[in-house]
Structure 1
Amino acid sequence: MTVTPQLAQLVAACHWIGQQGWAPATGGNMSVRAAEGFCLLSESGKDKGSLTAADFIAVEIASGQAPSGRKPSAETGLHTLIYRLFPEAGAVLHTHSVNSTVLSRIEKGSALRLQGYEMQKSLTGQHSHLDSVEIALFDNDQDIAALATRIRAWAQTNPLRYGFLLRGHGLTCWGKNVQEARRHLEGLEFLFNCEMQRRLLERS
């Protein structure tokens, strides 16, 4: 496999994600858009903190199939959906942090609404803490095809930017390249941490 600059950056991002504790016990999955019609997706069951370029599998975006016969992540259908929905998306990161997982369960609405935080400006297109950022929330489902259908239906009538949360599962976010996806992930995780602390303090 030719190691492109974007794949090398994705491998480095995976090691960083592992150091943050955001993909424990081989959880999570990451990908980068590759040659025309394909993405490179992390192999199932691998520790994300020690991935190498050889641990990424070429997957056809249209079908979700891996011509090599190797087993990509269980959430392959969500990665390929994002690449189909957003032609500008160049990288997708899916993590299992504590804050994203817990917030996704205690928030009962269809989106987690963030407002008043300066770090909202870490998200592309956000210019003020006065703006509102809504991160869509979907019920988790082991049937990835059914889950992808629900997310696609939502995106047809609602804005879906930066990422979404799966209840009790974690965050999936993306960007035009690895650098932007990593910035969105770090920004969102900071915001989730702030929101978690705010809610805890308000209850005390």
Structure 2
Amino acid sequence: MSDIPHTAIEAIRAAGRRMDSLGWVPATAGNISVRLPGDRVAITRSGFHKGFIPEDGVMAVDLDGRPEDGSLRPSAETGLHCGIYRRFPKAGAALHGHSVPATVLSRLAGNSISLAGYELLKAFPGLPTHEAAIQLPIFDNDQDIRRLQTRVTQAWDAAPDAPPGYLIRGHGLYVWADDMPGAIMRLEALEFMLACELETRRLRP
């Protein structure tokens, strides 16, 4: 488990329970991380159900995703978490879930999903009222995480004001914030809006 603060482990475990209670991390899906001092990241290990993360289900990696304990295997998507922390110095926590709305809508949409007029847009920086809109980017899934992160980085370069979240097609949602409570709030806001979008498409195909 390396030298990981107990508070970081418990924050990750609590986030996993919250995401599980809302149906966003079925089976072994999803991954959760927090930034640690000294260019380190605490992240869920591969193969654990996120609703039942044991104390040794969290491990430490550096900002390039290299495990501090070579006998442990981190999440397959550790590189995407590390990409967030390298790019955004204020990011303190990142969450990835596999909800039904995020998975379905990312398969149906093009390169982004527009979210406009929702009260919960206020969960995002610079949007003080519902009279706003964001374009949530969608990236094609890729088993080559380094290549996928390169595409994400290129999109950040092209749109530096993009919202702190994105979708992977047919796969799920990534969000990040300054701390874990902020990341959970942002995830819940996006998941609510995506669920509304999916229901709207069902009622008005």
Matched with 1:8 is 10
User: Structure 1 residue 65: deviation in Å?
Assistant: 0.4
User: Structure 1 residue 16: deviation in Å?
Assistant: 1.0
Match of 2:101 among 99, 102, 127: 99
* 1:123–1:183 Cα contact (<8 Å) kept: no
Matched with 1:88 is 90
- SS state of the match for residue 204, structure 2? helix
Which ranges of structure 1 fall in alignment gaps of 5 or more residues? none
Match of 2:42 among 26, 40, 43: 40
Match of 2:57 among 52, 55, 58: 55
User: Structure 1 residue 2: deviation in Å?
Assistant: 4.6
Matched with 2:68 is 67
Aligned length: 201
Q: Aligned partners of 1:162, 1:140: CA distance in 2, in Å? A: 18
Q: For residues 48-73 of structure 1, what are the alpha-carbon distances to aligned partners after superposition, in whole Å with 9 as ceiling and x for unaligned?
A: 00113321110000x21002011000
Matched with 1:112 is 113
Matched with 1:143 is 144
User: Structure 1 residue 85: deviation in Å?
Assistant: 0.7
User: Structure 1 residue 192: deviation in Å?
Assistant: 0.5
Q: Aligned partners of 1:147, 1:155: CA distance in 2, in Å? A: 13
Q: Aligned partners of 1:35, 1:53: CA distance in 2, in Å? A: 20
Scaled by the length of structure 2, what TM-score is found?
Answer: 0.94
* 1:6–1:178 Cα contact (<8 Å) kept: no
The equivalences for 1:160-199 within 5 A come to: 160-199=162-201
Aligned pair in 2 of structure 1 residues 2, 78: CA closer, same or farther (>3 Å)?
Answer: closer
Q: Aligned partners of 1:181, 1:100: CA distance in 2, in Å? A: 16
Q: For residues 29-53 of structure 1, what are the alpha-carbon distances to aligned partners after superposition, in whole Å with 9 as ceiling and x for unaligned?
A: 1100012110001000001001133
* 1:91–1:177 Cα contact (<8 Å) kept: yes
Q: Aligned partners of 2:96, 2:46: CA distance in 1, in Å? A: 13
Q: Specify the code of the residue in structure 1 equivalent to 2:13.
A: V
Higher mean C-alpha displacement, 89-98 vs 153-162: 153-162
* 1:38–1:60 Cα contact (<8 Å) kept: yes
Q: Aligned partners of 1:88, 1:13: CA distance in 2, in Å? A: 19
Which ranges of structure 2 fall in alignment gaps of 5 or more residues? none
Q: Aligned partners of 1:81, 1:114: CA distance in 2, in Å? A: 25
2:127 is equivalent to residue 129 of structure 1: no
What is the identity percentage for the equivalent residue pairs of Structure 1 and Structure 2?
40
User: Structure 1 residue 22: deviation in Å?
Assistant: 0.5
User: Structure 1 residue 181: deviation in Å?
Assistant: 0.2
- SS state of the match for residue 27, structure 2? helix
* 1:137–1:167 Cα contact (<8 Å) kept: yes
